[in-house]
Every structure is written in structure tokens, then in C-alpha cells.
Amino acid sequence: MQVPHARGPLSAWVRDVLVGVDPGHAPDVPEDALTGNEDAQLALWMTYELHYRGFDDVSPDAEWDLGILALRRQLERRFEEQLRAVTASAEVPLDTDVGEVLLDLAQSADGPSIALRLQRDATVDQMRDYLSQRSIVQLKESDPHSFVLGRLDGAAKVALAELQYDEYGGGRPGRLHAALYAQALRAAGLDPQYGAYIEQASAVTLASVNVMSMFAFNRRLRGASMGHLAIFEATSSLPCRRISRGLERLGFPEDVRAYFDEHVEADAVHEHVVAHDICGCMVAAEPDLRDDVLFGALVCLHMDDLVACDFLQRWDSDLQVAS
Ligand SMILES: [Fe+2]
Ligand SMILES: [Fe+2]
């Protein structure tokens, strides 16, 4: 993957470091909300990507460039502060069993449903927009959580390993969930290459994957990472069924639907594994992590709403322009 083009001073600074141009002083991180700031989110995404697949013609040493790490810390601090502020007043069901609380939270999600729109009346272009934007997340599906595995122990570690085995294809490379997503992109006539749509990725799309990386790369936030994962899995099965039906309605080939069909069954099981076997066991072993598990869960619900609004606003403003 090539280093993406800059979208403002922060991403320009990171890009300059990566391509070997003298970047000068790092710009200040803005005070305003980072979630919708595409420059800040792209800069953060580039710093994280160095830990995943990296970029063509960029030295692997850039992963530990002190200037990049310093800017990332500032971006992360601001991003985390803002996520904590926005989720602070959320109501959390009262239950001593954290697994039940997580499943109740997922059940209570009442934001706009992008899946319902895709099922019922999205156009072919809107479905393709959805598939390409989500490729930023799904082509590295489960990779953030693999970084957390070494930070857990006992029953929670065993349960996460079991989940990852499933997500990584259960021993069959062709069934890797990220590979199923690449197959879906190819069958839809889109580019299946990792990072192919990074130049088109919206601020919210980038934020939705950055939050997973931030939780995974900071050991302190391991509870938030697993709480986020619990909601991610528990809000997947029904939407995947709806998206599959939307793909069928629009005449997309079977190979596009396979990824979503796989998740209808798999995530109905995974939600219980993550809520009870990972988060429940984690909190039983380390009770202090309970608040962060719930923080991660609330962040996932918040990001899901933002992602849905991001698509709906874009599509509905296209409609207004067209009419
Ligand atoms: Fe999956
Ligand atoms: Fe899953």
C-alpha cells in the first residue's frame, strides 16, 4: 500500500516523516472533537498502520519513530478524553454479571440502522459505497484483537483464542473472515486489495477502526478492547442477515453474500463467547477492568451510530443534489 495523500497538517506531517521529507515541527493537535476530523483520523490511522502491514517503500523502523509515537500519544489522549466525555452519561443496565450487561446494552441499541436501509431501499451504488468504506475495517478483521491475546491469561485468553480461531478461518485459509470480505469485494466488482479505498475513507470510517487499534495497542485499555468487541459481535448477526437480503434484492452474486451469511450464524455464537467467556472471565480475574469493559462497549455503540449517520447523511445529501 502507498502512503495516503495528506488531508491537512497532521497527516501531512506523518506523511513527510514516512516518505523521508524533513517534516519540521509536528503541528498541534486540535482541541475540537477528533471523531469527525479527517486529518487527525488519517494521521492516527497511518501511525497505527505501521504496526499492521506498513506501507510500500517505508522503512519498517518507522514503526518506532519517536516523533511519530509522540504525535500518536497526543492524538490518542485527546481522542480517548473525548470518547470518555461522550459516553460518560450513558445509562448502563444494573446487573452484577458483566456479560449480561453487555448483551443488554447491545439489545438496547436504538440508533439509525444502516443494515435496514441496505436491506430495503439502498441503491447499487450505495451498497458499493458501504462495501468499500467498510473494507478499511473488515480487511483487517480481528487483527487488532490478536494484539490483546498476549495481555490476557487463563479462561479469558482461552476464549479469545477460540474466537480468533473462528475469525481466522478455523484452519482453512479461504474461510478467513478478511479473505471472505476480499472475495465479496471482488465479486461486487470492487478492489479487494488491502487499503485500496483508504483515499476515500471518511473521518468516521477511520475513527471506527482507529478506536479498535487504540484499545488494542494500549495494554491499559485491554478491558475496553474486549468490551468493544462484545458489542461488535452482539450487534452483527441480525444486521448481516439484513445486508445479505439487500445484496440479494439488488442482484449481487452469491460470493458477495457469503461473508455476511457466515456472520449470521457465527456471530450469534460469538456474542456469548465474548460477553461471558472473555469479558466475564476477564472481570472475574481483574475486577478493576469492569469500568473499562463497559467504556469500550459504550464506545462501540457510539461509533456504530456515527457510522450509520455518516452513510445516511452522505446518501441523503446525494439524493437532494440529484433531485
Ligand atoms: Fe468475523
Ligand atoms: Fe465474529
Distance 179 CA to ligand 2 centre (A): 14
Grid coordinates standing for 29? Answer: 493537535
Q: Is the pLDDT of residue 55 over 70?
A: yes
How far is the centre of ligand 1, averaged over its atoms, from the C-alpha of 279 (Å)?
Answer: 18
Q: Please state the rounded mean pLDDT for residues 250-273.
A: 95
Ligand with minimal distance to 267 CA: 2
How many Å lie between the centroid of ligand 2 and the Cα of residue 310?
23
Written as nine digits, the cell of 167 is: 475469525
Could you read off the pLDDT of 205-249 as tens digits, one per residue?
Answer: 999 999 999 999 999 999 999 999 999 999 999 999 999 999 999
Q: Which of 279, 223, 186, 217 is CA-nearest to residue 73?
A: 217
Distance in Å, CA 16 to ligand 1 centroid: 35
Instruction: Dump pLDDT digits (tens) for 106-153.
Output: 999 888 889 999 999 999 999 999 999 999 999 999 999 999 999 999
Report the chain's mean pLDDT, rounded to a whole number: 95
CA distance 144 to 114: 24
Residue by residue, DSSP assigns 78-125 as HHHHHHHHHHTT------S-HHHHHHHHHHT--S--HHHHHHHT--HH
The answer to whether 72 and 20 are in contact (CB under 8 A) is no
> Measured between alpha carbons, how far is residue 287 from residues 52, 153, 218, 279 in Å?
31, 14, 18, 11
User: Residue 94 — very low, low, confident or very high, per pLDDT cuts 50/70/90?
Assistant: confident
Distances (CA, A) of 30 to 82, 141, 266: 12, 30, 41
Query: How far apart are the C-alpha atoms of 170 and 270, rounded to whole Å?
Result: 14
Q: How far, in Å, CA of 256 to CA of 181, rounded?
A: 8
Query: Within a 13 Å sphere around the CA of 34, how many CA atoms are in the beta-carbon half?
Result: 29
Residue type, 216: A
Residues bordering ligand 1, an ion, CB closer than 5 Å = 167, 177
CA of 141 to the centre of ligand 1 (A): 7
Extract the C-alpha cell encoding 257: 453474500
Each residue of 162-209: pLDDT tens digit? 999 999 999 999 999 999 999 999 999 999 999 999 999 999 999 999
Q: Tens digits of per-residue pLDDT, 98-115?
A: 999 999 999 998 888 899
| 98-322: CATH topology | Heme Oxygenase; Chain A (1.20.910)
CB environment 123-151: b (16+ within 10 A), e (fewer): eeebbbbbbbbbbbbbbbbbbbbebbeeb
Separation in Å, CA 170 to CA 28, 163, 258, 259: 45, 9, 16, 15
**Which whole-number Å values give the CA distances from 275 to 87, 92, 139, 271, in the listed order?**
19, 15, 24, 6
Secondary structure letter of residue 279 according to DSSP:
I
Closest to 49 (Cα-Cα) out of 232, 210, 220, 229 = 210
How many Å from the N-terminal Cα to the C-terminal Cα in the chain?
Answer: 38
CA–CA separation, 225 and 279 (whole Å): 10
pTM of the model: 0.95
181 alpha carbon – ligand 1 mean position (Å): 9
Please enumerate in sequence order all residues whose Cβ is within 8 A of that of 182, keeping only pairs 6 or more positions apart, or say none: 139, 192
Distance of CA 273 to the CA centre of its chain: 19
Cα–Cα distance measured from residue 74 to residue 68, given in angstroms and rounded to the nearest whole number = 10
Task: Give the DSSP letter of residue 274.
Answer: I
Question: Phi and psi at residue 309, in whole multiples of 5°?
Answer: -65, -35
What single DSSP character describes residue 202? -
What is the predicted pLDDT for the residue at 320? 61
User: What is the location of CATH 1.20.910.10 in the chain?
Assistant: 98-322
pLDDT of amino acid 323: 47
Question: Residue with C-alpha cell 475513527?
Answer: 207
